[in-house]
Amino acid sequence: MNMKNEAGSKDVPAAVREDSDLVQVLDAEGNVLPQASVPDISDRQLLELYETIKFARHFDQRAISFQRQGRLATYAPMTGQEGSQVATSLALAEQDWLFPTYREHAAKYAHGMDLASLFEPLRGYREGYAIPDDVNVMPEYIPIATQVPQAMGMAWGHKLQGKTDTAVLCHLGDGATSEGDFHEGLNFAGVFDVPAVFVCNNNQWAISVPRERQTASETIAEKAQAYGIDGVRVDGLDPLAVYKVASAALEKARNPGPGELRPTLIESVQYRFGAHTTADDPSVYRDESEEEAWRDRDPVDRIETYLYNEGILDSDLESEIQDSIEQEVSEAIETAEQTETSPDNIVEHVYEDVPARLEEQRDELNRLREKYDDGAFSEVLE
Ligand SMILES: Cc1ncc(C[n+]2csc(CCOP(=O)(O)OP(=O)(O)O)c2C)c(N)n1
C-alpha cells in the first residue's frame, strides 16, 4: 500500500514530505498518483463521499457563524479534517460503532446521525448526548483519550459475545496520545485482540502544543509497534487514501488473516486549518504560512478535482449538491432551536441510575435557577 510522495518540494508540509510510508492515492491537486490504486467503490459511493465532505465544510462555516450569533455554545471546528472524518465513517458497516471526539461532527453524520441532533449537544441539551436508538454512535468525548479504553472495552465485549462481525472505530487527537488512557487502551486491544480501529487525527496541534512537543517518536503510527499491533500512516487530506486504509483496517478487525491481529492504529496526517475552538485564537501560537502550505492540499478541492477528471461531477451537479446542503443545514438548526428541554435533564443519560452526588449538583443548580432566574444563565451565551 505504500507509495512515494512528492519528496523535496518546498511547498509540501514537512509532516507529509518526510515519510515515504505515507499512504496516498491523490496528489495535492487531486490527480491519481502514478503507482496508486484507487479504492474499489462505485460512482454512487464516490459521490456520497464528496457530498458528505462538502456538507461538512458548509456545516462548519454555519456552526461558527451560529456560535458568533449566540445560537450555539463553544464549537470545535473541523475545516481541513473533513476528508478523514467522512472517509473513515463511510468505511464503517451499519452495525459498527463509532467513538467520536468533540470535533467529529461530520463523522457522526456520515455514520447516520440525524443532522438536527448534531446541533442539540452544541446548544447544551443533555438529550443530545444520549446514544441514539437507531445509530451506533457514542456521545462525543470531552476528556482527552477517555474513549480509547472504552472503545477497546466495547470491542472486547463484542468479541466475548462472538459478535466479531461488528468493529469499533475510535477517533482521537495527537494530544490524546500523551494520555495514559491511550496507552492502556491500545495495550489491552493488542493483548485481547479486539476488533477495534483507532484513528489518530494528527492535526499537528493540541490547542497550542505542536506535535513535536507531544512525543519524541518520529511518527504516531509507530507507537503501534509497542503494543504488537499494526500502525499505518495515511495522508488525512486525501479522502480516497483514508477510505482505502480505514476499509482495510475494519475488514481486518472483523476477519483477520492467518497470524494477523485485529486492531490497527491509523495515524491520519492532517491539519486543523481553523481555531481549536471558537474560544481560541491560533495566531497567538502559530505562523500563518504553515496553514497556507497545508491549504494547498485541501481535501475538498482534491476530491472535487478527482471527480471532475473522472466525469462523475460537473458544474450543474456541483451547484445542485451545494444548494441542497445549504437548505438542509438551515432547516436543521431551525429544528434544533425548537427543541424544548429543561436543565433538570442535565444528569440524564450519564448513568443508568443517577448517583447521589449528581442529584446534589442538579438540586444546587435548581436552587441557583430559583434565586437568579433562568435568564441569568442564558446571558452567558449572548
Ligand atoms: C483529560 C483532559 N486533559 C485536558 C483537557 C483540556 N484539553 C481540551 S482539548 C485539548 C487538546 C487536545 O488535542 P488533541 O488530542 O490533539 O485533539 P484536537 O483538539 O487537536 O482535535 C486539551 C488538552 C481535556 N479536555 N481533557
- Which amino acid is residue 255, in one-letter code? N
Q: Give the pLDDT confidence score for residue 17 in this predicted structure.
A: 63
Pocket, ligand 1, Cβ cutoff 6 A: 101, 103, 142-144, 173-176, 201, 203, 205-207, 272, 276
Distances (CA, A) of 49 to 101, 210, 237: 20, 30, 13
Q: Give the pLDDT confidence score for residue 18 in this predicted structure.
A: 58
Ligand 1 centre distance from Cα of residue 144 (Å): 5
Collapsed DSSP state (helix, strand, coil) of residue 45: helix
Distance of alpha carbon 88 from alpha carbon 183, whole angstroms: 22
Q: Give the pLDDT confidence score for residue 74 in this predicted structure.
A: 93
Q: Give the pLDDT confidence score for residue 135 in this predicted structure.
A: 97
Mutate to test the pocket of ligand 1, among 101, 183, 207 (most ligand atoms within 8 A of CB): 207
Residue nearest to atom 17 of ligand 1 (CA): 173
Active-site residues, by number, are: 272, 276, 285
- When mean pLDDT is compared over 49-58, 120-129, 338-347, the highest value belongs to 49-58
Ligand 1 centre distance from Cα of residue 253 (Å): 27
Distance of alpha carbon 363 from alpha carbon 291, whole angstroms: 46
Can you give the pTM of this predicted structure? 0.93
Q: Which atom of ligand 1 is nearest to the CA of 206?
A: 13
**H or E element: which one contains 264?**
strand 264-269
Ligand 1 centre distance from Cα of residue 32 (Å): 35
Q: Give the pLDDT confidence score for residue 2 in this predicted structure.
A: 35
pLDDT tens-digit series, residues 74-87: 999 999 999 999 99
Q: Which residue has the cell 474513549?
A: 147
Q: Give the pLDDT confidence score for residue 11 in this predicted structure.
A: 65
Whether pLDDT at 173 is above 90 = yes
Q: Give the pLDDT confidence score for residue 380 in this predicted structure.
A: 53
Q: Which residue has the cell 510522495?
A: 5
The CB-based long-range contact list for 42-51 (8 Å cut-off, 24+ gap) reads 43/310, 43/312, 45/90, 46/307, 46/310, 46/312, 47/307, 47/312, 47/313, 48/90, 49/86, 49/87, 49/90, 49/239, 49/243, 49/303, 50/303, 50/304, 50/307, 50/313, 50/321, 51/321, 51/325
Nearest to 266 by CA among 311, 307, 222: 222
Residue nearest to atom 20 of ligand 1 (CA): 206
Ligand 1 centre distance from Cα of residue 181 (Å): 13
Residue nearest to atom 24 of ligand 1 (CA): 143
Mutate to test the pocket of ligand 1, among 104, 144, 201 (most ligand atoms within 8 A of CB): 144
The answer to whether 248 and 37 have CB atoms below 8 angstroms apart is no
